[in-house]
Amino acid sequence: MNKAIFLDRDGVINSERGYTYKLEDFLILPDLIETLQLFQQKGYLLIVVSNQSGIAKELYKQSDVELLHNYLINELNKNNIRLSEIYYCVHHPDVCNCICRKPDSLFIEKSLARFQIDARKSYFIGDKERDVEAAEKAGVKGILIEANSSLKAVFNFIETLQNSSI
DSSP 29-72: -TTHHHHHHHHHHTTEEEEEEEE-TTTTTTSS-HHHHHHHHHHH
Catalytic, out of 8, 64, 104, 127? 8
Catalytic, out of 10, 64, 104, 131? 10
Residue 131 falls in the annotated catalytic set:
no
Distance, CA of 126 to CA of 112 (rounded, Å): 18
In sequence order, what are the beta bridge partners of 6?
47, 124
Q: Position 152: which residue type?
A: K
Distance, CA of 30 to CA of 15 (rounded, Å): 9
Q: Strand 44-51 relative to strand 85-89: parallel, antiparallel, unpaired?
A: parallel
Residue 31 falls in the annotated catalytic set:
no
Q: Which residues are catalytic?
A: 8, 10
